[in-house]
Amino acid sequence: MASSTFSTAERALQDRRTRQKEVKRNAWAYVFVSPFYLLYAIFGFFPLVYGLWLSLHTWDGISPMVFVGFNNYIKLITVDELWWQAIYNTIWLFVVATIPQLSLALSLAFIINSGYVRFKDFFRAAYFMPFVASAVAVGILFTSLFGSQYGMINFVFTATGLAKYFGTEAGECYKWAFMSNNMGCVIDWLQSALWLKPSIALIIIWQWTGYSMIIFLAGLQSINLELYEAARVDGASTWDIFVKITMPLMQGVILFQVVTSIIGAMQNFDIPVMLAGGTQSSAPGGTDHAGLTAMMQLYWSAFKYNTGSKSGFGYASAMSFILFLIIVVFSFTYNRANGQNPTEN
């Protein structure tokens, strides 16, 4: 057995030698891949670690940093109600906007991919179009559409006569609508707590469905057509094909979409800011902070309220790590729930 221990040590040494030789032999390859790692270290890894360090401090950006341990986290978790309201809003938007958006995108992709549709390229481009628009342009467009007194949507409600169902026959508007000067009962999309979140959700769905659809479409096109043909021969209906062949084979694409969507939804920022970012006479998030997302609260804490120990860069960093944890938990849970892959049985 002595020879065996010797040979283990020998082998380890040899391994190390081969590894060193390998490194030397591939030196140039390492040089060529180094830009990514250097850039990642500077712009990815360092900010991450520094953010974690920052979250243990109070810092307004200029004065010296003060170490406070886990106080930022404790404050956030125990006393900051607004932060939890922002988290609630963010998750609400994820459920009401992102889930329908993904379902819609998958259905659309399936329809466009099937043989029933002509002008596929046109539809693909048309659905993708909103994704290309910048958030500011989208914001301007939708603030005019959602305008309460002169908005296009309310105008359509009035013009089509639908608006008369917004109030009683006596002319009293229902609680969820209000009386406009020139249009009767209409909906205050952006300034009432009730409608602000649905308005934001609508825009998210409008903007992101096309993008998700394109990704799904790419996934669908990689499925072997023979599977469909075989299923048809066996007498499967379209629904059966969708559920029993398409869905299982799309698992990977769906997983990618769900995880990136969770990350995106948790960092929802630009659209809510454009619609309810707070002006000189309103608070960020609109009435009752209904449109205040976690990222908004984070940004406001870091850059606008950066004084005192319940705001500033340290406090905002702590927020970002809580957000990070939430993203991890959601993604992990989805991954777990998705663990039983039907194709593997």
Give me the 9-38 binding string for other proteins, x by CB under 8 A, dash otherwise: ------------------------------
Label residue 292 left, alpha or beta by phi (over 0 means left) and psi (-120 to 50 means alpha): beta
Judged by CB under 8 A, which of 84, 128, 269, 305 binds other proteins? 305
Residue 228 contacts by C-beta under 8 Å, 6 or more apart in sequence?
241, 245
Residue 168 contacts by C-beta under 8 Å, 6 or more apart in sequence?
174
In angstroms, the CA 82 to CA 310 distance is 12
Phi/psi at 294 (nearest 5 deg)? -60, -40
Give me the 280-299 binding string for other proteins, x by CB under 8 A, dash otherwise: xxxxxxxxxx----------
Least distance in angstroms from the C-beta of 122 to other proteins: 31
Residue closest to 323 by CA, chosen among 160, 144, 84, 41: 84
> Among residue numbers 81 through 140, which ones bind other proteins (CB under 8 A)?
82, 140
Residue 193 contacts by C-beta under 8 Å, 6 or more apart in sequence?
286, 287, 288, 290
> Among residue numbers 63 through 82, which ones bind other proteins (CB under 8 A)?
63, 79, 82
Q: Which stretch binds other proteins (CB under 8 A): 43-51, 60-68, 262-270, 318-326?
A: 60-68
The helix or strand, by DSSP H or E, that contains position 74, with its residue range, turns out to be helix 71-78
Least distance in angstroms from the C-beta of 61 to other proteins: 4
Judged by CB under 8 A, which of 62, 170, 225, 233 binds other proteins? 62
Instruction: With beta carbons less than 8 A apart as the criterion, state whether 76 and 244 touch.
Output: no
Give the torsion through C-alpha atoms of 10, 12, 17, 18, to 10 deg.
Answer: 110
Judged by CB under 8 A, which of 313, 319, 320, 323 binds other proteins? 313
Judged by CB under 8 A, which of 72, 105, 151, 320 binds other proteins? 151
Least distance in angstroms from the C-beta of 139 to other proteins: 10
145/249 with CB nearer other proteins = 145
Residue with tokens 């030397």: 24
Residue closest to 295 by CA, chosen among 314, 327, 259, 323: 323
72/212 with CB nearer other proteins = 72
The percent of the chain in helix, strand and coil, each rounded to the nearest 5, is: 70, 5, 25
**309 part of the interface to other proteins, by CB under 8 A:** yes
Give me the 165-204 binding string for other proteins, x by CB under 8 A, dash otherwise: -------------xxxxx-----x-xxxx-----------
In angstroms, the CA 256 to CA 234 distance is 31
Judged by CB under 8 A, which of 310, 321, 327, 334 binds other proteins? 310
7/282 with CB nearer other proteins = 282
Q: Which stretch binds other proteins (CB under 8 A): 92-100, 163-171, 232-240, 273-281?
A: 273-281
80/204 with CB nearer other proteins = 80
Instruction: With beta carbons less than 8 A apart as the criterion, state whether 293 and 299 touch.
Output: no
Residue 88 burial (CB count, 10 A): 14
Q: Which residues bind other proteins (CB under 8 A)?
A: 60-63, 79, 82, 140, 143-144, 147-151, 178-182, 188, 190-193, 278-289, 300, 303-311, 313
